[in-house]
Amino acid sequence: MLGTQYRQLGVIGRLAIPGLVAIAALLVARALPGQRARARRAQTSLVTLGVAAIGLFTGQLQAELLGGPDASIPPHTGYRILLVSALVAAVLAAVFLIRLRAGLLAAALSVAVLVVAITTILYLQYEHGWPVELLFLVTGAILVAAAEYGRRERVVWATEVLAFAGPSMAIVTAFITAQDGNLPLEIFGGLLAGAAFAASVYRGSAGYAFAGGIGLFAFVLDIEFRYFQSSLGFAVSLVISGLALLGIALLLARLLPRFRRVR
């Protein structure tokens, strides 16, 4: 409704819909008993919906203050609106995550933090390369720190979601921003993937293992397609990537019993 009848709703309608959804979701979530697992899952889903609705309400409120759908909002202002909305959603997701310790809220926090990082780059007009990677490195470090805190508190799903999201952001960003032939940045992404995979062995973390394993495989593929695509080394690099994938799979299989013991 908000999308199809956007202009006809008016200011009150455009603000009331996300606002009422947020209020209803949070009130019902609070009324649910949290002792049973099914009720806790429903509570987590409702809280996540409430966080998303509050983020939408924040963005819509900023747009209405600037003149609503008929106003000509420049891209720079639009990035600021998205940035503020994502920050509000990230803070709320973090607060509820501390209370409910649910994997869904950890995923919501990761997405909100990712949007904050992307809109910060667009708002500040960062150039591709090391400045962008540094921002995502800080963002990933925040999520990794949250994951380690959750591990210390013996939280399972939320910890592994954050452990996967934190390193993945920095690793993927390194490969994307190295598209102009920045080999040191590309190698840095591979080192980050290796560090994440090593951390999975040390910490017994499935999240680190998947982030590091996918990152290492992507690193090998990226190197071969970028530097060996038109040479004899392409066949050799394909063999190397296959061996790397096999090694990652074997290491993950050996780590699975340890994951079960940690959980």
Domain edges within the chain:
126-262
Stated pTM of the model? 0.86
Predicted confidence at residue 234, as pLDDT, reads: 64
Four-residue CA torsion sign, 30, 35, 41, 44: positive
**Number of C-beta neighbours around residue 228 at 10 A:** 16
Burial of 70 (0-12, 13-18, 19+ CB in 10 A): exposed
Among the listed residues 118, 14, 24, the one whose alpha carbon sits nearest the alpha carbon of residue 60:
14
- pLDDT given at position 222: 75
Q: What is the pLDDT of residue 116?
A: 96
Short-list 239, 216, 238, 240, CA closest to 229: 238
pLDDT per residue, tens digit, the chain (263 aa), is: 455 566 677 788 888 989 999 999 999 988 887 667 788 888 999 999 999 999 999 999 999 898 877 778 888 899 999 999 999 999 999 999 998 899 999 999 999 999 999 999 999 888 778 889 999 999 999 999 999 999 888 888 899 999 999 999 999 999 888 876 788 888 899 899 989 988 887 887 888 988 988 888 888 777 777 666 655 566 666 676 677 677 777 766 766 555 555 44
Residue written as token pair 């973090």 = 94
